[in-house]
Amino acid sequence: DVHPTHYGRICPIETPEGPNIGLINTLSTYAKIDEFGFLQSPYHPVRKGVVDKNPKNVKYLNAFEEERFRIAQANTEIEKSNSKLTGRVTCRYRDQVGEYDPVDVDYMDVSPKQVVSVAAGLIPFIEHDDANRALMGANMQRQAVPLLQSESPLVGTGIEKKVAEDSKTVSVSESEGIVALADGKRIVVSDDGTLPPRFYKEPRSDHKKGIYCYELRKFLRSNAGTCFNQKPIVRKGDKVKVG
């Protein structure tokens, strides 16, 4: 069963379909573990009905601390000019959901995605899906393999870029510049798109001269027993930015 303390800490969607259903769980997107081993979830402070959106002031609360506060949903309407809550606000308080005046609200969720895991957060409009189908989709997301011809999704949720970066299977640029060389083995970026003649004899990075060399991993074995292969998607002369 899903318990109120799971909110923002353990994903209510992603779990195995077999005999281990409910026994194996996944952390929610922004959850973290404190020094005592308790799961924490992040919230924006709310003072006198005004939401503090400064990322430096985000407060992490565990389930015991959270019980004492009235917490609004991330999609609650606020004024764009001053981040002030408008009208009656739907909040969670002591395992119950109710409506409160803006001045009584203590915290606000940082994102609607903090309720679910990363795999479930990749499913567009998951709130309109049947829970059983969403469970299947979240589990299948983790079994996805790369496309032979890369293309962006027609509909995304906004965390696809971060997932690709954190998978460590994508080489990203460490500096701004112009692609000076791109072949099956490596991608080289320099400040002006040119390379000194000696580079071709000994290809390696020289950060002092603005040369960054990225070696591509070719036909390696993955832990799942599949083929891991990187291909360049930039061409010589393309301008690149950091990341």
Q: What CATH number should be reported for the domain holding residue 205? A: 2.40.50.100
Say if residue 48 is exposed, middle or buried (CB neighbours under 10 Å; 0-12, 13-18, 19+).
exposed
CB 102 within 8 A of CB 85: yes
Structural domain contains residue 43: yes
Q: What pLDDT was estimated at residue 113?
A: 93
- Tell me how many degrees the CA angle 83-89-94 measures, rounded to the nearest 5: 120
Structural domain including 43 reads 31-110
Q: What is the pTM of this model?
A: 0.81
Structural domain contains residue 199: yes
Which of 110, 126, 149 finishes a domain? 110
CA 144 vs. chain centroid, Å, equals: 17
Which of 110, 131, 151 finishes a domain? 110
Structural domain contains residue 5: no
Number of domains in the chain: 2
Q: What pLDDT was estimated at residue 210?
A: 87
Is residue 117 pLDDT above 90, yes or no? yes
Which of 110, 126, 155 finishes a domain? 110
pLDDT tens, 13-45? 999 998 999 899 999 999 999 999 999 999 999
Q: Is 127 helix (H, G, I), strand (E, B) or coil?
A: helix
Structural domain contains residue 220: yes
What span, in angstroms and rounded, lies between the C-alpha atoms of 207 and 205?
Answer: 6
pLDDT tens, 92-106? 998 899 999 999 999
Structural domain contains residue 63: yes
Structural domain contains residue 224: yes
Is residue 153 pLDDT above 80, yes or no? yes
CATH number at residue 96: 2.30.150.10
